[in-house]
Amino acid sequence: MLLAACSASHTTTEPRKEVSYIRGPYNAAFFHRHGESEALSAGFHFHHGREHDVLLQTKLADRVQVDADFDAQVFDFVKNKKSKVGPSMELFGPYTARVAWKLFRTIDWTHQHHEQTYDIMASQRVAWDKKKQWTDRAVKLYLARNQDVARSVAPLDITMRRAACMMKPYFTYYRNFYPKSNSQAWVAHWWHPAIYEAQMLSGNASGGQEAALKAVNDLMFNEVYKNRPQRMILSRELMPRYARMSPESANIFDNLHMLHGLAYDILSYEGWTEQQQRDELYRVIDAMSYQPGDEKYVRKFDLPYPDVDPRQYPAWMAGPEGAMSKIMMEMMMEMMPLMMPDMAPDMKEKMMAQFQMKMRPGMEPGEIEGSLHDAMMQLMPGMKMMPGALEPGKTPEMMRDAMLKGWQEKHGSMPDVPPLDMSQEPTLAPLAR
């Protein structure tokens, strides 16, 4: 009967397949040492989990009110530290758990990895010169124990090209239609690398990490929330020291954060059924997952701000231009010859103007409503679409291959980002009493 009901409802059965955290001497060190920061992180994970259900259970037509209400709800949760413990996605996104369980397995497992790496950095039982060794172990076990959902260790430049979703009909929906909620995610994605880097600046000694994390948290409420980032900040920009120590973990981090954005894009798009949304979610999850051979790309990224201080919030962090927009622009330029081989210069100018607006959150004067695909099609109705470009669960393989080739030509021979010497432990003054 159950199987018949399952079949009749066009739903699928998925195995639960939950995996426990990796044991180590550092477990829960971040919670015990930096409880306030753990509570803020719990608030961000409330956003991440709840947003799935908000988007699936509300109508796009109500987006202005939905966006404002959810933004206020998240800020209240974060500011007032409503939970001291980071939640699993299902706790606040129970409906999505039933529609696309694998998405939550992916997110929860990678959140556990982040918890592990925060713990390693926070733990005084792990000597400074052993931090990398324990982090490498955490990465290795992260990849091995949950292989079908582990994120790739390759940089986002490669995994985004593999996902090839820029021309999908949902791409940019979330940032354009839910700009406030989207900016909550981008505050969170500023905060996480800022915390890693604050730990990297502080060393193990008592007082220093506490002071650095407090400075980051104060900065968030005093400046970042008031002038929210206009793009998703990448690990290479805000946690360069950590990214040098563990580029694998840094790339996993970026790949998860991009998955959040793509999942919200897909779930806010009303042109597909829930089953089609799930098909596309699972395709993106697979495309951005770890694949054998990813190791050779691990250090293939640059460090635009190698000496950044995460306790400061300069203009470059807040603006829309950065490593993320650079990746998007490269991908756009790699795709255009395939889709629009004979484009006139003035049309290209219009296209690029729309592209720039679409990458920024919200809607601007002159911006065409909808996804990036909608804007491109309105400007050039005859634009050639690749097979798989629009369908849920399908990969536009020609587009993907062209972009991967483009990356290889531009960056394939770039030098590896250098490792970090962890033999010298930094120290930072504790908070003044």
Partner 1 sequence: MNKSITLRGLLLAALCLLGLAPLAHAQSDQINLDAGLPTRLEDAYPTAYGNRELQLPVRYQRSQQGDNLVQYTPTLEFGPFRNTQLAVAVPVYSGNGDRSGSGNVQVAGLYNFNTEGKYLPAVALAGTLTLPTGLRSAGTDYNGRFILTKSFLGTLNRLHLNLAYFHNSQPGVQAEGGQLKEERLDRFALLVGYSTRIAPQSSLVVDFVREQRRFRGEMGSSVEAGIRRQMNPRMVLSAGAAAGLGTDADKFTATLGLQHAF
Residues found near partner 1 in the complex (CB under 8 A):
2, 5-6, 9, 11-21, 27-28, 31-32, 42, 46, 53, 57, 77, 82-88, 90-91, 94-95, 97-99, 101, 115, 145, 274
CB of 9 to partner 1, least distance (A): 4
Residue 52 or residue 175: which is nearer to partner 1 going by CB?
52
Residue 30 or residue 171: which is nearer to partner 1 going by CB?
30
Q: What does DSSP assign to residue 297?
A: G
Residue 31 or residue 186: which is nearer to partner 1 going by CB?
31
Residue 19 or residue 329: which is nearer to partner 1 going by CB?
19
CB of 42 to partner 1, least distance (A): 8
From residue 213, alpha-carbon distances to 33, 189, 203, 306 in Å are 11, 15, 12, 19
CB of 82 to partner 1, least distance (A): 5
* Whether 60 contacts 177, CB under 8 Å: yes
CB count within 10 Å of CB 279 equals 18
CB of 64 to partner 1, least distance (A): 22
Residues with Cβ within 8 Å of residue 428, at least 6 apart in sequence: 201, 202, 203, 205, 207, 208, 209, 211, 212
CB of 44 to partner 1, least distance (A): 13
CB of 423 to partner 1, least distance (A): 29
CB of 18 to partner 1, least distance (A): 4
Residue 29 or residue 256: which is nearer to partner 1 going by CB?
29
Q: Work out the angle between the directed axes of helices 345-359 and 323-339 (0-180°, nearest 10).
A: 140
Residue 147 or residue 408: which is nearer to partner 1 going by CB?
147
CB of 266 to partner 1, least distance (A): 17
Residue holding tokens 């996804």? Answer: 371
Q: What does DSSP assign to residue 307?
A: T
For residues 407 and 331, what is the distance between their CA atoms, to the nearest angstrom? 8
Phi and psi at 289, nearest 5°, equal -85, 170
Residue 66, class by beta-carbon neighbours within 10 Å (0-12 exposed, 13-18 middle, 19+ buried)? buried
CA-nearest of 136, 172, 353, 313 to 229 is 313
Residue 5 or residue 432: which is nearer to partner 1 going by CB?
5
Residue 115 or residue 294: which is nearer to partner 1 going by CB?
115
| Tokens (6 digits) for 138 | 């955490």
For residues 57 and 35, what is the distance between their CA atoms, to the nearest angstrom? 33
Q: Work out the angle between the directed axes of helices 156-163 and 274-287 (0-180°, nearest 10).
A: 140
Q: What does DSSP assign to residue 273?
A: -
* Whether 242 contacts 63, CB under 8 Å: no
